[in-house]
Amino acid sequence: MKKFLALALCMAGLSRSAEPEVRLPASVQKLDLASAEGIAVLAGGRVKPLLVAATEGVQEIRGRAGLTRELGPMRSWFALALHGESLSGQKIIYCPNKTLRKEIGLDPQGQFASFDELASNAKLQALAESADEKDRSRLRPTPLERAARETRRRLEKFLDARAGATWRLLPGPAGLEGEWRLPQEVPVHEIAVNPALVGRVEAVRNLFAAFATGNQALFDSSARGLSENDLLTDSLSGLGNGQFLRTRPAHVEAELALAKFHPFRWAWIALLVSFLAAWISRSTADTSPPKSRAALVASAGAMGLAAVFLLAGFALRVFVSGRAPVTNMYETTLWVGFGVVLFGGPLSWIYRSRALLASVAAAGCVVFVLADNLPTVLDPSIKPLVPVLRSNFWLSLHVLTITISYAAFLLAMAVGNLGIAQVFRKDSEPFQKTLAHYAYRSMQLGLLLLVAGIVLGGVWADYSWGRFWGWDPKETWSLIAALGYLIVLHGRFSGWIGVFGTLMGGVLAFFGVVMAWYGVNFILASGLHSYGFSEGGTAAMGAFVAIQGAFAAACAARHRKANPQR
């Protein structure tokens, strides 16, 4: 188990260089800030709990949710606002790109830099401005320029946090409730005629004063008053650009529960338990049937518990966002992991297969570990949608269908890997044949969903962009992925490929899914699907492709050696 956890953490890229030394007054370390976590604040284009805004804000600057592990997001966020000047010279800005660090004169082996040294770096600014200029000219910036622009964005976030420009705690006046303001932006005449506003402004001032002086009683009383969110409207407040801010207190409370409970983290822990129990059940099936049955029950129970955590997490996230949970790479990753459990759990029960149960649990566990531990690549924040995605009907139909197909393909890949690995075991042909059947069924299901998703996407594209198909990179690679699986399934049906070929096809065809799902968004970053583009994780994904390819090649070589006549 320890080896598995170590491998998972390594895959998730959790290794960090030594933490920077963040020196802050002793009073900062004393306070319990839990009472302020539910205060509603406008950040990132929508209203959210202060805990979520702090987590996301510090994450953007630091690369994870805390200046140090001890400070955490809330304490770090307050510290940035009140002690930003002293933090400017400390190495807290996340800058991990080795090529960029070398180009701008920093130690290539480091991961952090101070605001002062980055803000005054002429090379960094020139590279970021070059990226902006290329965007204006509709040219593609180089990876170095994109890394420089990302670092500049972190600097800008640090500036906002240091200046206190992120604490928009006060809704706008009547009719403009969606335009939240800083305390200093509220006119005196408005405060004079609004008693509730007077109390809220005073509470904000007391909150910061209590944090600065370490006054727990004053901090708690101010935080409790602000956490009542009495100025929130009981309906959706409109913005001038047609978007809506969810400002009901219930949404703030639901998002706070989501942030504190971490249901998707508990899901991968439950899936890890399910995998280990399923493996024990299978390995003891012949030697100790009672022990095997007990482990099987434990595995099924843990997977059921994981499904409960997932349903709770999705319910909260959908309630908060008001849309299907598939609008960015983080959400689609969660949805694919959920699909693996949704498809694999029942199939394991139908076929009474411990091996399939273990494969389902392992695949789901890896997916959720990655989603939980790569926030700089898989951004978990809920953001306002771009105009083309503001259709819950098409968003739910098209994107949910496409991404759930990836879950079936991921299951086929996991089963395929287990199957091709059997070439290193004697007398494994019957087991391989069974696994090939599971992989075949999974690929059939996945292809049906993928083709349906492509057709639905074409209809949505005609509705939004005026054409059904345009050979956009996302469209093209989705078609390539579908054709790859169609070749495998047709080869199996017609007898061109056998058991081993079916298993290998389930593994290799998944590379098409990787390109359509991750590669178009993170590597090509071109086309009309620009709302899904992001950066990061290229090295990890390249390592996965290389390791998976090498493993498949080794299994193929072993199979050919053992079956020279085939």
Structural domains of the chain, count: 3
pLDDT at 9 over 50: no
Tell me the percentage of the chain whose pLDDT exceeds 70.
Answer: 87
In a domain, 387, yes or no: no
- Mean pLDDT over 194-215 rounds to 87
Select the more confidently predicted residue: 443 or 399. 443
pTM for the model: 0.85
pLDDT at 235 over 50: no
Answer yes or no: do 123 and 174 share one domain. yes
Position 35 scores a pLDDT of 94
Cβ count within 10 A of residue 259: 22
Q: What is the pLDDT of residues 68-86, one digit of tens each?
A: 888 889 999 999 999 888 8
Answer yes or no: do 220 and 281 share one domain. no
Q: Give me 332's structure tokens.
A: 């689609």
Select the more confidently predicted residue: 31 or 304. 304
Answer yes or no: do 170 and 309 share one domain. no
Answer yes or no: do 208 and 304 share one domain. no
Distance CA 354, CA 346 (A): 12
Angle subtended by helix axes 289-321 and 249-261, to nearest 10 = 150
Position 389 scores a pLDDT of 60
| Helix/strand/coil (H/E/C) assignment for every residue in 156-210 | HHHHHHHHCCCCECECCCCCCCCCCECHHHCCHHHHHCCHHHHHHHHHHHHHHHH
Distance CA 259, CA 317 (A): 10
Position 143 scores a pLDDT of 84
The owner of tokens 């805004």 is: 53
Which of 275, 272, 229, 224 is CA-nearest to residue 248?
A: 229
Least confident of 165-179, 304-318, 409-423, 424-438: 165-179
For residue 91, the SS3 value is: strand
| Residue 278 burial (10 A CB sphere; 0-12, 13-18, 19+) | buried
pLDDT at 425 over 50: yes
Position 287 scores a pLDDT of 84
Bridge partners (DSSP) listed for residue 40: 49
Position 15 scores a pLDDT of 40
Least confident of 366-370, 496-500, 520-524: 520-524
In a domain, 25, yes or no: no
In a domain, 390, yes or no: no
CATH classification of the domain holding 359 = 1.20.120
Please give the residue range of the domain that contains residue 529: 405-566
Answer yes or no: do 330 and 416 share one domain. no
Answer yes or no: do 349 and 443 share one domain. no
Q: Give me 329's structure tokens.
A: 């790479």
Task: Name the band, by pLDDT with cuts 50, 70 and 90, for residue 242.
Answer: very low
Last residue of a domain, one of 349, 373, 397: 373
pLDDT at 391 over 70: no
Select the more confidently predicted residue: 207 or 241. 207
Q: What is the pLDDT of residues 324-347, one digit of tens each?
A: 888 888 998 999 999 999 999 998
Mean pLDDT of the chain: 85
Last residue of a domain, one of 356, 373, 390: 373
Task: Name the band, by pLDDT with cuts 50, 70 and 90, for residue 530.
Answer: low
Answer yes or no: do 278 and 334 share one domain. yes
In a domain, 201, yes or no: yes
Select the more confidently predicted residue: 360 or 189. 360
Position 184 scores a pLDDT of 86
Least confident of 49-53, 300-304, 528-532: 528-532
Give me the long-range contacts of 307-315 (CB less than 8 A, separation at least 24).
307/341, 307/342, 307/345, 309/263, 309/264, 309/266, 309/267, 309/270, 310/263, 310/264, 310/267, 310/334, 310/337, 310/338, 310/341, 312/261, 312/263, 313/258, 313/263, 313/264, 313/267, 314/338
Last residue of a domain, one of 218, 245, 272: 245
Position 357 scores a pLDDT of 92
- Mean pLDDT over 217-222 rounds to 94
Task: Name the band, by pLDDT with cuts 50, 70 and 90, for residue 19.
Answer: low
Give the distance from CA 257 to its chain's centroid.
Answer: 18
Position 387 scores a pLDDT of 60
Answer yes or no: do 169 and 66 share one domain. yes
Residue type, position 447, single letter: L
In a domain, 16, yes or no: no
Answer yes or no: do 481 and 365 share one domain. no
Distance CA 439, CA 505 (A): 9
Give the distance from CA 503 to its chain's centroid.
Answer: 29
Distance CA 438, CA 520 (A): 29
Answer yes or no: do 135 and 214 share one domain. yes
Measured CA to CA in angstroms, residue 116 lies from 85, 88, 99 at distances of 10, 6, 20
Backbone angles phi, psi at 346, to 5 degrees: -60, -40
Which of 543, 539, 487, 547 is CA-nearest to residue 512?
A: 487
In a domain, 400, yes or no: no
In a domain, 24, yes or no: no
Tell me the percentage of the chain whose pLDDT exceeds 90.
Answer: 48
- Asked if 270 contacts 305 with a C-beta cutoff of 8 angstroms, the reply is yes
Which of 255, 57, 93 is CA-nearest to residue 167?
A: 57
Answer yes or no: do 420 and 476 share one domain. yes
Answer yes or no: do 412 and 559 share one domain. yes
In a domain, 554, yes or no: yes
Position 536 scores a pLDDT of 60
Select the more confidently predicted residue: 15 or 463. 463
Task: Name the band, by pLDDT with cuts 50, 70 and 90, for residue 237.
Answer: very low
For residue 291, the SS3 value is: helix
Distance CA 169, CA 184 (A): 11
Bridge partners (DSSP) listed for residue 433: none
Task: Name the band, by pLDDT with cuts 50, 70 and 90, for residue 543.
Answer: confident
